Amino acid sequence: MAEQILPQVKNRIYPTILNSRYLSFWESVSPGMNQCREFKFGQFNKQVCCQEKDAAVGWRCFPSIVLAGVQKGGSTALQSYLLTHPQLVSSSKKELHLWDSDRKYRSSFQTLLRHWPATHAPGSKLTFESSPSYTASTMACERMSLFLPPSTTYVIILRDPVERIWSEINMKLRRIQRIDELIDIAIQRGEQLRECLTDSHAWPECLTRVIPEIDKRVKSNQQSNFKRFYERCIKNESRISIPTPEQVLKRRNCFQEEHIFHESLPDFEAKIKEEIAALQANKHCLETVRPVEEADQPLSASLRCDTSSPLVNHSAPCSFDLIKDGKTMSLSGACGTPQCQCFPLLPSFSDISRGYLWRGHYFHHIQHCLQFIPRRNLLIFENSELRKSPQSVVSQIYWHAGLMPAAVNWYDAALKFEQEYPSFEKKTGWRIEGSNQESMPPSLKKILVNHYRPFNNALFKLIGKSFPHWHQ
């Protein structure tokens, strides 16, 4: 099995400066801590970047395939198919957000790599992950190009932006409805929750015992909200086995007043009109003719560190230096292209309650990503392709990644996904069949069709193919 230290890879630049040193993201920032080596995989000798923590644990490898978008485009269905390939290993968590979360991006190698299982045969399999918010992120494409091997395969599945936005809204509706169901259960079981409060350390276990439905419907970081609900809305009440209708109403009002769960049901049409106005205020957000320089090679990066600093990961006091076409540029962590001025409209990378409209601006997202990820690394499909010909789609991905051919079917894919992520559907409101609850209001559809028309046409020119069935 071929192996080499990555600084020896061709077309990478690693300058040396007096009194400081440059270390690539694939090298050791702190000797013995973050060393990453390259292994070769498959018929195309695909680069696989792996790290060995110690000989007993084995190697953990960064993803060689990234499903980067779009949200509600079909990435979860595609991930289900990929899970069935014997040479692929997915992340332990469904959506990692390693590259669009500043906190996670600044973590150590060990923290990033712990999401994939260790192996004593690095290069025998490929790892992959799926976080469909990456394409709509200011920094994800740049960070992945800096950090991941040059041969990484990036996959984007597009969907008619009008249908996509309505599917997202319905997913949110389902999630809120499930939370409401749990709130009703918690209101009725207030006395049982009182017992859980006697031991704060045992609260999660007691909560799931009193309300067993919570484990598969609520994300773990939201379970503490039920404790807040009890402390603020039930704790000081007189003990009663069955709450009266008046108490039920009082508890529900308390829950709403305290904003214990941040998700709420907005006026979607009003929110979208508000977002259109915000985008129109910045001309860069609506431009479709501004040319950009596309990347011919993935970015190479170096990390300059003061040798006197006892670093344990690639965070401060290191400074980032971006090397492109032999020129070194400072990377401050801020997005540098004109379109990035539109992204601050999205306060949180994972908050689906805002930025509905911008998530369907595929032209801007892909144009931005092509500045850092070469076209040859990027596979773009349309949702109907995956629905009608899943074998064709996954076969192209397998070939691009150097994987052996393999047949797929939906029954095995759905079963494998449920085994890997048993609570994903109930926690998020996502549905594996992708069905909607009700039809879109005609007034909302008209607004969306008119807004997206010029951006869809620009997208078709950018990627070299069109989708006539999209709303035009």
Average pLDDT over residues 373-383: 96
Q: Rounded to the nearest 5 degrees, what angle is found at the Cα of 265, between the Cα atoms of 259 and 270?
A: 120
pLDDT at 319 over 70: no
Average pLDDT over residues 6-33: 32
Pick the more confident residue, 264 or 399. Answer: 399
pLDDT at 20 over 70: no
- DSSP structural state of residue 355: -
Res. 426 pLDDT band, cuts 50 70 90: low
Of 66-80, 117-131, 251-265, the poorest mean pLDDT is in: 251-265
264-293 pLDDT per residue, tens: 566 788 888 888 887 888 777 778 876 778
* Residue 154 three-state SS: strand
Going by their DSSP bridges, the two strands 88-90 and 126-130 should be labelled as: parallel
* pLDDT value of position 222: 60
pLDDT at 51 over 70: yes
| Helix ranges (DSSP H) in 106-244 | 109-113, 140-147, 161-188, 190-196, 203-210, 223-233
Average pLDDT over residues 30-51: 69
The residues facing 90 across adjacent strands are: 128
* pLDDT value of position 3: 32
Phi-psi region of 228 (alpha: psi -120 to 50; beta: other; left: phi over 0): alpha
* pLDDT value of position 342: 67
Closest CA to 323 of 102, 23, 50: 23
Res. 395 pLDDT band, cuts 50 70 90: very high
Output the average pLDDT for the chain.
75
Pick the more confident residue, 433 or 376. Answer: 376
* pLDDT value of position 271: 83
pLDDT at 400 over 80: yes
332-359 pLDDT per residue, tens: 445 555 666 665 444 444 444 467 888 8
pLDDT at 221 over 60: no
Give the predicted TM-score (pTM) of the model.
0.77
* pLDDT value of position 11: 31
Average pLDDT over residues 410-430: 82
pLDDT at 8 over 70: no
* pLDDT value of position 281: 80
Closest CA to 75 of 90, 61, 62: 90
* pLDDT value of position 105: 74
142-161 pLDDT per residue, tens: 888 877 888 899 999 999 99
H/E element holding 60?
strand 58-61
CB 99 within 8 A of CB 105: yes
| Helix ranges (DSSP H) in 259-358 | 268-280
- Environment class of 283 (CB within 10 Å of its CB; exposed 0-12, middle 13-18, buried 19+): exposed
| Beta carbons within 8 Å of 148's beta carbon, 6+ residues apart | 49, 62, 63, 64, 66, 298
Sheet holding 300-305, edge to edge: 21-23, 300-305, 319-324, 327-330
CA 443/CA 280 separation, integer angstroms: 20
* pLDDT value of position 428: 62
Lookup: tokens for 279: 């985008």
CA 64/CA 332 separation, integer angstroms: 26
* pLDDT value of position 259: 58
